[in-house]
Structure 1
Amino acid sequence: MKYTLSKLNLKGLEVFKSYIDSSKEEPEIDPPFSILKDKRFSTKIEPEITVENDQSFKNRLEFGRYLNDLLLPINDSPNLPIDSGIWSWFALCFFDLFCPADKDGKRVVNKDWYYILSKNYNHHYRHLVRTPWHIYRLHKKNSGLVLSVPLTVAGEAVEQLLSRQQVATNIPLFDAMYQLYVVAGSDPVELKKGARGSGAGSMRRIGKILKQYDLTYDLRAMDGTEIYDMFPREFNKFKIS
């Protein structure tokens, strides 16, 4: 179905949250799709952008690329990254992808911050629409490092990376990690064995070494290869694999 991109107002956000809360006890109730077009609950965005929700995406990378291209007319809006109305509208628009109904019409709905952009910035990385857009917009090809996963599944290692803003928004660091963890030439993106694990040199270790580097280096002023060459010995197994 085609929609004109809009943003949920306070009433719309309340209706959406009420549905999410109620769905825990009544998983068969229908999502409030009608508020996507209802002027009482949503407001159209200018310039007009058409959104088609009857499509599928292989993974978060493909979804993030779609959103980035779709939102080019407003990508530079300073309020876009924190606009709960827009991102919550998107989540409801694509709700069938995130929470498909089973043969009995029942849906498994997660916590509200996955669908309604939280006022708490520490939860923003969990949002199922904003995060693919945000990460793809920043890192383009290199975003495959964390976005080559199903729409609703990130995994603990990936979530740990995305939860650290000093990692998630660091463009040269992402380039270095892409070189380190992604199988060269893989399409779709394939991570090297153990990259998402918990052992030495894994993605979960990045945050810890970053704390050490930040005391000495301005990583954002470096390029990806320089950072790659700096990774300590524990990461060598990924450099040669």
Structure 2
Amino acid sequence: MMRVVRALNDEGIAIFRGWLLQPATEPPLAILDDPRFSEEIAHEYRIDGARRFDTTFDLGRYLHDEVFGPGADRIEIRALTGMWTWISLVMIHNLLGRTRKKKGLPLDPAHYIDAGARLGYRLICRTAWELVWLHGDSARVAISSRQSPWGDVAEQMTSRQEIYMHPSFWAVSNRLYLSNSGDIKPGTTTQRSREDRRNPKSRSGLGGLRRLAMSFRQFERTYLVREMAVDQLMEILPPEYGRWKQP
């Protein structure tokens, strides 16, 4: 069902938040077009709330390509927090838990309602749209999980601004950690523990996402990383990334 995109007002956001905290009934979709709880925005965009997506990347691509268009003003649109909460509600069936314990249940409210500067990156719809706007297909590495609308890779790659905005980091991550089938390779988010660091034979966590962030910080002391091609960056990666270069 096509709808004109609106924004939830404070009363509408309060109703939505209440449902997120106690989802005993169906989502409050009735407030989407109710002028008591939502309002018009300056531009006219249309969205199909009946669309279903396998991954959050697919949702982000839809928002980027078909709802807002590639020429959209990123700064202007990302600031419309009431609109993004409205979009979270209209697309809610794409944003619920998929594991056995959380199936059909909402995640933390910050994934649907803007939580301010510190946790705003967790607003799934906005971040998915913005990642596609910034990084195109390379955004797949963070938001292509079929098990959850928001997984560990998304959390690690979007919570740090220096990574969030770094096109080269995303391009290399996409090459290293996304398999040919489109799934995240096992061990991508494994953290190298203190015990592993003390054990010279342990390979746990080596070449993983956390280590890549450290490697990029080291590269930027020597190279103009943002001006290098992806293949050039892949060539200077330390040996610990060898196994991750395999398809």
TM-score when normalising by structure 2: 0.81
Alignment of 1:1-241 (within 5 A): 1-21=1-21, 23=22, 27-69=23-65, 70-72=67-69, 75-99=72-96, 108-119=105-116, 121-150=117-146, 152-183=148-179, 186=180, 188-198=181-191, 199-240=205-246
Asked whether the equivalents of residues 181 and 192 of structure 1 are also in contact (C-alpha less than 8 Å), the reply is yes
Q: Secondary structure at the match of 1:43?
A: strand
Q: Deviations over 1:90-147 (max 9, x none)?
A: 11111233238xxxxx95232210110111x231222221121111111111112122
Backbone CA RMSD of aligned residues:
2.5
For the structure 1 residues 202 and 134, does the alpha-carbon distance in structure 2 shift closer, same or farther, using more than 3 Å as the test?
same
Work out the CA distance in 2 between the residues paired with 1:154 and 1:30.
21
Partner of 1:103: none
Any gaps of 5 or more consecutive residues in structure 2? 98-102, 192-204
* Per-residue deviation, residues 49-78 of structure 1 (Å, max 9, x unmatched): 221111211111211110101111772152
Contact 2:88/2:112 (<8 A) preserved: yes
Q: In structure 2, what is the Cα distance between the partners aligned to 1:20 and 1:143? A: 27
Give 3-state SS (helix, strand or coil) of 1:129's partner. Answer: helix
In the alignment of these two chains, the number of paired residues is 228
Call closer, same or farther: CA 1:240–1:114 in 2, change over 3 Å: closer
Distance 1:135 1:182 in 2: 16
Give per-residue Cα distances to partners, 1:189-225, cap 9 Å, x unaligned. 2344533434100112222223333444443233322
Q: Is the 8 A contact 1:47 1:73 kept in 2?
A: no
Question: How big is the shift at 1:36?
Answer: 0.9
Structure 1 unmatched ranges of 5 or more: 101-105
> Percent identity, aligned pairs only?
27
Check conservation: 1:12, 1:35, Cα contact below 8 A.
yes
**Larger relative contact order (C-alpha < 8 A, sep ≥ 6)?**
1
The amino acid of 1:163's aligned partner reads: S
Structure 1, 71-80 or 195-204: larger mean CA deviation: 71-80
- Residue deviations 1:120-175 (CA, integer Å, cap 9, x gap): x2312222211211111111111121221138343324421221221122112211
How far does the alpha carbon of each residue in 1:23-59 deviate from its partner, in whole angstroms, 9 at most, with x for none? 1xxx323322122111222222343222111121111
Q: 1:164 to 1:175 in 2, by over 3 A?
A: same
- Please give the secondary structure, in 2, of the residue aligned with 1:122: coil
Cα deviation for residue 182 of structure 1 reads 3.0
Aligned to 2:194: none
TM-score, with structure 1 as normaliser? 0.82
